[in-house]
Amino acid sequence: MSQNRKFEITDATGGAAFTVRVVTRAATTEFVGVQEDGSLKVRLQASPAGDPAANQELREFLAGHLGVPVKNIEIVAGENGREKIISVIGITTAQAEEKFGSISGTE
């Protein structure tokens, strides 16, 4: 039996941090929703998930959505897999939650 957790953004040094699960080989890069474990699910066109091109696509997509420079988005864990921990410098938890507020539903 799994617990239903909400998407959670936490404070990080100088910014915010959250978890992302990527799905590759998608027709378009987009947010899918929030998974039951609280991770943000993102579809990427690049493949595979641990490829540098996929990581760059994810960083660029998140930076555009959050309104921060790509250099402010760091994959701090999971660079070679589908599950990633993302750190965003220069944005507060409240600002990130506001930007992600339109993403709803669970996958």
Which residue carries 């993102």 as its tokens?
42
pLDDT of residue 33: 84
Residue 39 contacts residue 17 (beta carbons within 8 Å)? no
pLDDT of residue 1: 36
From first to last of its 107 residues, the chain has per-residue pLDDT tens of: 344 445 555 555 578 888 999 999 899 999 888 888 888 899 999 888 778 999 999 999 999 989 999 999 999 999 999 999 999 998 888 888 888 776 655 44
pLDDT of residue 63: 94
CA distances to 16, 27, 63, 105, 106 from 87, in Å? 6, 26, 11, 23, 22
Measured distance CA(43)–CA(16) in Å, rounded:
21
